[in-house]
Amino acid sequence: MTFEQGLVFAILIATLAMFVWNRLRFDVVAMLALLVVALTGLVPSEQVFAGFGHPAVITVAAVLVVSQGLVNAGVVDTIARFLGKVGTHPVVQVVTLSAIVALCSGFMNNVGALALLMPVAVWMSRKGGHSPSLLMMPLAFGSLLGGTMTLIGTPPNIIISAYRKDTGADAFGLLDFMPVGAVLAVVGIVFIALIGWRLTPRRKEANDDKELFQIGDYITEVRVTEESEAVGKTLHNLMAKVEEDADVAVMGLIRDEDRELAPSTFEVLRSGDILLVQADTESLQYLLDVGKLDLVGSQEEAESEAMAKTDARSSVDKESEQDGKKEKADSKKDKASSRGEINLMEVIISTDSDLIGKSANRLSLRERYGLNIIAVARQGKRLNKRVGNIRFTAGDILLVQGREDNLEETLSNLGCLPLAERGLRIGNPRRTLLATGIFAVAIVVLMAGVAQAATALVAAAVVMVLVGLLNATEAYRSIDWSVIVLLAAMIPVGEALETSGGARLIADQMLLMGDTLSPAALLVMVMVATMLLSNVVNNAAAAIIVAPIAISLAGQLPITVDAMLMAVAVGASCAFLTPIGHQSNALVMEPGGYQFGDYWRLGLPLSVLVVATSVPMILLVWG
C-alpha cells in the first residue's frame, strides 16, 4: 500500500464514520472530505470543484426542477386521484399505493413522489380503519424500487451512468435500467402486497391518528376587561409577558360582531375583545392572572368556534340576511375576503427542514410567518410540554394554524410536508397536458440520442419556467442543494480513490478473499456490500465509493463492467434496513409509528429478494 492509497483510505473511513455519526449534515461532511483531498494534493487544484459542473450533478438538479413542474401542473394528482376508489382492503391499498409511487419514482424524484402520496396514504388508512403503519413502509419501499427502473429515477443511476462513460463506453441510456429495474419493482411490489405488509409492526391502533391531536379540551375564550393591562397594547405585548412561564397560543380574536382567526401579533387590543386561546389549565390560569382577563363561554362553544375553520365571511353572510345591515355586511365581506380563510393542518418535519434543532419561540414563527404551532407529536404521542420551547426533530408531526393563501408556501419554505387528508387538485387539463408533453419530448430526445441527459432535462426545466408551469423562485427552491453539494464534493473524492490505485487494491483483496467464488457470487458480494453501505450513508455517496472498486474488479474477472455497475446501482438504491439509509425511509418513520429496529422486519426479506431477483437478471442482460 502506497502513502497516497493509505491517505485516501483514511479520508474515506473518516468520512464514512462522520456520515454514520450524523452530527454534521452530510453535505458539510462531503465538503470537508473534498477540502482534505485538495489540501493533501490527492486531487489537482484545477479539478477540486469540477464536480459542480459534472453532468451527473446537473442532471440531478434538472430532474428535481422538472419534477416540481409536473407537480405544479397536477400530473401526479391526476395519476393519484383514482386512489379514493380502490376500496379499504389493506392488500388492495398496499398494491395500488406501491405501484403508483413506483411508477412516479421512475420518472421523477422518488422523495418527491413519496411526499405527494404520503398524505393520501394517511387518508386511506383512516378511511379503511387500520393503522397507517400498514401503508407507510410499503409506500417508502415502493418509491425506492421504482427509482431503479430508469436513469433519472434516482441519483445513484445517474452516477453509475457517468462512471460507465469514464470507462470509454457510452453512458447508460434512459431505459437501460428498465430490464432489471422493472422486474425488480414488480417482484418487490407483489411481495410487499401479498406478504410484506403483514410484517410491518403495529405501533398504532386503528384510528389513533384521529386522536393524536384532540385540542377541543384546550380551547377557551377569554375577555379583555377594562382593568386589563393589555388594553391599548398589542397582542405581542400580552404574549411576551406570559410566554416565559406559560404555553398559550391565540387562535382567534372576536371584536363586536367581527371575528378574525389567527390575528396579527401587532393587533391593538381593546376592552371587550374576546381572545380564543389554546392552553392547558395551568397556562390558562397564568394568562388570566397576568393579563387580568376573564373567562367567558363554555368549552363546547369555544371548540365549535375553533373547529369551524371559517373566516369572517360566513358570519357576514348571515348578517346580510338581516334587514338594514346589507351595507355593513358587504364591508365586512370584503375585509374577510382580503384576509383569507384560516386552516388547521397536520404536517411532518422533513429531514432537511430549517426547523430541526430549533424552537417555535426562537424562530418567531407567529411574527415572521403568521404560523401558530398548536401541538407537537413525537413517536406517536403528543408531547405534553410547552410548545414554544420544544426543539423540533426530523419526523415530528405538528398541528399548525395559518392562512390558507400562504400556508402551503410557508410550510414548503420551512421544510414541512402536509400529512393530514390532502385534497387532490383538479388542476387545469391544458397545463397537465403541456407539462406531460414537455417531459415526453425530453424523454424522446434522450432515447433517440439527440442530446445527453443533462442537456435534455435542463432544456425541459427551462421550457417549463418559460411557459409558466413554475417560476424561477420555485425552480431554485425545488432543488435539494444538500444533495447537489454532496454529489459535487464526493465525485472528486471517488476519483481520488481510483487514481491513487486504492480501488484496484480493494478489488485485489476481494479477489483474494473470494478466489474460489464464481463471478455471480462476486456480483452478489458487490451488491450486498453496496446495499449495507447505503443503509448507513447517503446512497449517492455509496455509489460513488463502490463504483471505482467494481470497475477494477470487473477488469480481473470474466464479467462485464456493465454487470458490476448495475449491481452497484441496485445495491445503492435498495436501502431497506434502516430509517437513515434514505430520506423516504426517514419520512415515514413518525407517521407510521416505527422505531429504528422495525425496518429490518420487512427490509431484510425484501433485500434478500432483491439480490435473488436482480443478480440473475443482471447476468442475463449485462453479464
Task: Find the CATH number of the domain harbouring 363.
Answer: 3.30.70.1450
Are residues 489 and 385 both part of a single domain?
no
Average pLDDT on 211-218 reads: 54
Q: Is residue 409 part of a domain?
A: yes
pLDDT at 89: 85
Rounded to whole angstroms, the Cα distance separating 269 from 235 reads 6
- Give whole-number Cα distances, 346 to 117, 210, 242, 249, 421, in Å: 15, 11, 26, 16, 9
Q: How many CB atoms lie within 10 A of CB 351?
A: 21
Please give the sequence-ordered ranges of beta strands (E in DSSP) within 262-380, or none if there are none. 274-279, 293-296, 342-349, 372-378
pLDDT at 38: 94
What band does 379 get if pLDDT is binned at 50, 70 and 90? low
Rounded to whole angstroms, the Cα distance separating 280 from 292 reads 17
Of the segments 76-80, 139-143, 247-251, 395-399, which one has the largest average pLDDT value? 139-143
Q: How many CB atoms lie within 10 A of CB 210?
A: 9
**Structural domain that includes position 304:** 216-308
Q: Are 240 and 265 in contact, with CB atoms under 8 Å apart?
A: no
Q: Are 78 and 431 in contact, with CB atoms under 8 Å apart?
A: no
Statement: the pTM of the whole predicted model exceeds 0.75:
no
Between 243 and 214, the more confident residue is 243
Give me the number of domains the chain comprises: 3
- What order of strands is seen across the sheet that includes strand 258-261? 258-261, 248-255, 274-279, 219-224, 293-296
Q: Is residue 79 part of a domain?
A: yes
Among 551, 547, 520, 518, smallest CA distance to 614 is for 520
Q: How many CB atoms lie within 10 A of CB 35?
A: 12
What band does 468 get if pLDDT is binned at 50, 70 and 90? very high
Q: Is residue 56 part of a domain?
A: no
- What order of strands is seen across the sheet that includes strand 416-418? 381-382, 372-378, 397-403, 342-349, 416-418
Task: Check whether 426 has a pLDDT greater than 50.
Answer: no
Dihedrals phi, psi of 132, to nearest 5 degrees: -60, -20
Q: Which residue has the cell 432483491?
A: 610
Tens of pLDDT, residue by residue over 520-564, are 888 999 999 999 988 888 888 899 999 999 998 888 878 899 999
Query: DSSP secondary structure string, 497-513?
Result: HHHTTHHHHHHHHHHHH
User: Could you tell me what percent of the chain has a pLDDT over 70?
Assistant: 85
pLDDT at 352: 72
Tens of pLDDT, residue by residue over 300-355, are 333 444 444 334 334 434 444 444 444 444 444 444 333 446 667 888 888 778 88
Task: Check whether 482 has a pLDDT greater than 80.
Answer: yes
Are residues 190 and 244 both part of a single domain?
no
Residue at which a domain ends, from 308, 331, 355 = 308
Between 205 and 29, the more confident residue is 29
pLDDT at 326: 44
Are residues 379 and 509 both part of a single domain?
no
Tens of pLDDT, residue by residue over 589-611, are 877 878 878 899 999 999 999 99
Are residues 252 and 386 both part of a single domain?
no
What band does 79 get if pLDDT is binned at 50, 70 and 90? low
- Give whole-number Cα distances, 81 to 99, 163, 171, 278, 610, in Å: 14, 39, 36, 35, 30
Are residues 366 and 231 both part of a single domain?
no
pLDDT at 327: 45
Residue at which a domain ends, from 259, 284, 308 = 308
Rounded to whole angstroms, the Cα distance separating 274 from 222 reads 6
Average pLDDT of every residue of the chain: 81
Pick from 121-125, 138-142, 463-467: least confident:
121-125
Instruction: Quote the cell numbers at residue 215.
Output: 385540542
Dihedrals phi, psi of 234, to nearest 5 degrees: -80, 160
Task: Check whether 408 has a pLDDT greater than 90.
Answer: no
Q: Is residue 70 part of a domain?
A: no
- Give whole-number Cα distances, 365 to 113, 189, 370, 404, in Å: 28, 41, 7, 16
pLDDT at 354: 82
Dihedrals phi, psi of 88, to nearest 5 degrees: -115, 0
Are residues 167 and 266 both part of a single domain?
no
Of the segments 150-164, 223-237, 350-364, which one has the largest average pLDDT value? 150-164
pLDDT at 226: 85
Instruction: Quote the cell numbers at residue 106.
Output: 421512475
Average pLDDT on 195-211 reads: 65
Are residues 14 and 95 both part of a single domain?
yes
Instruction: Quote the cell numbers at residue 395.
Output: 419526523
Rounded to whole angstroms, the Cα distance separating 601 from 580 reads 16
What band does 421 get if pLDDT is binned at 50, 70 and 90? very low
CA–centroid distance for 139 within its chain = 13
Rounded to whole angstroms, the Cα distance separating 237 from 267 reads 10
Dihedrals phi, psi of 557, to nearest 5 degrees: -130, 155
Rounded to whole angstroms, the Cα distance separating 415 from 350 reads 6
Average pLDDT on 224-244 reads: 83
Rounded to whole angstroms, the Cα distance separating 263 from 253 reads 6
pLDDT at 217: 47
Q: How many CB atoms lie within 10 A of CB 169?
A: 12
Rounded to whole angstroms, the Cα distance separating 145 from 614 reads 12
Instruction: Quote the cell numbers at residue 603.
Output: 427490509
Residue at which a domain ends, from 418, 444, 466 = 418
Q: Which residues of 417-456 are buried (b: 16+ CB within 10 A; e: fewer)?
A: bbbbebebeebeeebbebbeebbeebbebbeeeeebbbbb
pLDDT at 423: 47
Q: Is residue 593 part of a domain?
A: yes
Are residues 198 and 127 both part of a single domain?
yes
Q: Are 432 and 75 in contact, with CB atoms under 8 Å apart?
A: yes
pLDDT at 301: 39
Are residues 498 and 522 both part of a single domain?
yes
pLDDT at 604: 95
DSSP strand pairing (342-349 vs 274-279): unpaired
Are residues 245 and 265 both part of a single domain?
yes
Are residues 30 and 172 both part of a single domain?
yes
Average pLDDT on 244-254 reads: 79
Q: Is residue 322 part of a domain?
A: no
User: Could you tell me what percent of the chain has a pLDDT over 90?
Assistant: 32
Q: Is residue 331 part of a domain?
A: no
Are residues 273 and 149 both part of a single domain?
no
Q: Is residue 321 part of a domain?
A: no
